[in-house]
Structure 1
Amino acid sequence: MFEQDVVRYQVEDGIVRIVLNRPDCLNAMNRPLLRQLLAALELAAVDEAAGAVIITGHGRAFSAGADIRFLNQAAPAEVRELARLAVAVTSRIETLGKVVLAAVNGDALGGGLEIAEACTLRLAAEDARFGHPEVSIGAVAGFGGTTRLPRLIGKGRAAELLLTGRLMDAEEACRLGLVNRVVAPQDLPAESEKLLRGILAQSPTAVRLSWEAIHRGLSLTEDESARLGADYFGLAAQSEDFRIGTRAFLDKQTPSFKGR
């Protein structure tokens, strides 16, 4: 469906690999790329062969961000339309119902970083760089960065990055909590898949409900979030996976989850 275009969609052994495919411009995001990325996510949401998703970039970068040539020539209304399309993409990543991992194979800047920030998990190659340089071109991190980055690394640290445009390497991103793990560039595909395989071995129902509780709970008070977690615990208890998992624990066996 996307093989010859600006987004590639591949599925193998339960893992979808969505590849941003504008390597000549460091996978800069324009409307065609964002539309195809959204379409790829919608396909992954209903693809019965897809248990989890990896988003990565083709070539030297994950994504250098929004296409600045477009931004320079576009009318303000067109810029806002692009941002709203990107927000639809990042929101869909968070609500896909499946774990989405950003395998950051190079620079993740501006809108590219905002795509990664929306993912459930982020693995980075050692030579990757991260940052929100929007202010350096007179812009704002309008694809969700002003919302998600403070939640990931804290208000003060996020403010520094968003207000200075400073770039950081993968190790600093990991220390700040933006990245889960840093690996050698050649190991990034295998390590990304290995992490997802560990998640796919768990109850799909419990994984989905756990992520929903995390995501929804961030917008609630601590007490409300705790009650939401209790409600999701109750929902999990209604599943077949809950009975399978608890029985397997008592019998000292490895559970074989059904995802229902």
Structure 2
Amino acid sequence: MSGSPVVVEASADRVVVTLNRPDVRNAIDQRMVDDLHELCGTLESDPRVLLIRGSGGTFAAGADIAQLRERRRDDALRGINSGLFDRVRRLPMPTIALVEGYALGGGAELAYACDFRLGTPTTKIGNPEPGLGILAAAGGTWRLAELVGEPVAKEILLAGRVLDADEAHTLRLLNEVVAADDLPAAGHRWADRITASAPIAVRLTKALFHAPRDAHPLIDDVAQAVLFEATEKHDRMTAFLERRKEKK
């Protein structure tokens, strides 16, 4: 694991990626960004559930400050992290962040971009970017308010509040909190729940969930029309009716 900033374990219905820079608490550097873009390309062409975790007891303590210090205007306009995290958010199948320990700055923003976030008692989530003379420009300034509401988002973004696991769970920023040893298994349980449903139905539901309000209800009807023609819909409904008949 020591040679790569990300370690990928793939199976038929899911991919587990481990952020692997434990010596710098999995700080997100350019190579990690590039490797995650490559993974996104794979998942766009072969959709599967994605689970993201960190090595060494930390999810990701932020962007790589040594690299960040040297970036200038044109680097910011390239959207190095924001482009990646937006791509993660748009992946066809759901994404699950396994947030152990610190998720700060860019690490927090990566977690915000996921559909689900699971934590441990050590989880700490926040955006201390203004203390370094920058802002949370990779989704934090707008995505966080959608997740926890404006008042709490302002406390985190403007006043440096860091949420612990209990606070994040109460706010539903964390969907579940489990012991650190149970975190991988919890992630797979969530993946199992997702993959138990028809993949195309999950994909279309996620796409419609994030669609603009004025696109509804037309796109809902079109998506349902696609599903109505699918063999899997007929097979699943037939199995449901047969199970109900057997119970009578």
TM over 0.5: yes
Instruction: Give runs of aligned pairs for residues 54-133 of structure 1, distance below 5 A.
Output: 54-81=51-78, 84-133=79-128
Instruction: Give runs of aligned pairs for residues 202-213 of structure 1, distance below 5 A.
Output: 202-213=197-208
Correspondence for 2:175 = 180
SS in 2 for 1:252: helix
Give 1:9 shift. 1.1
Q: Deviations over 1:158-191 (max 9, x none)?
A: 1221111210111111111211111111100001
Give 1:149 shift. 1.0
Q: Which runs of 5+ in 1 are unaligned?
A: 254-260
Give 1:80 shift. 4.0
Correspondence for 2:159 = 164
Q: Deviations over 1:108-159 (max 9, x none)?
A: 1111111111111111112111011112222111111112111112222212
CA distance in 1, matches of 2:13, 2:3: 22
Give 1:79 shift. 4.1
Correspondence for 1:27 = 26
Q: Report the RMSD for the aligned CA atoms in angstroms.
A: 2.0
Whether 1:220 and 2:217 are equivalent positions in the alignment is no
8 Å contact from structure 1 (residues 107, 129) kept in 2: yes
SS in 2 for 1:108: strand
Paired residues in the alignment total 244
CA distance in 2, matches of 1:46, 1:5: 23
Give 1:33 shift. 1.1
Q: Which runs of 5+ in 2 are unaligned?
A: none
CA distance in 1, matches of 2:19, 2:136: 20
CA distance in 2, matches of 1:4, 1:251: 52
Aligned pair partner of 2:233 in 237, 242, 255? 242
CA distance in 2, matches of 1:225, 1:58: 41
Give 1:4 shift. 3.0
Query: TM-score, normalising length from structure 1?
Result: 0.86
8 Å contact from structure 1 (residues 3, 9) kept in 2: no
8 Å contact from structure 1 (residues 35, 85) kept in 2: no
8 Å contact from structure 2 (residues 58, 103) kept in 1: yes
Correspondence for 1:142 = 137
Query: TM-score, normalising length from structure 2?
Result: 0.90
CA distance in 1, matches of 2:15, 2:123: 22
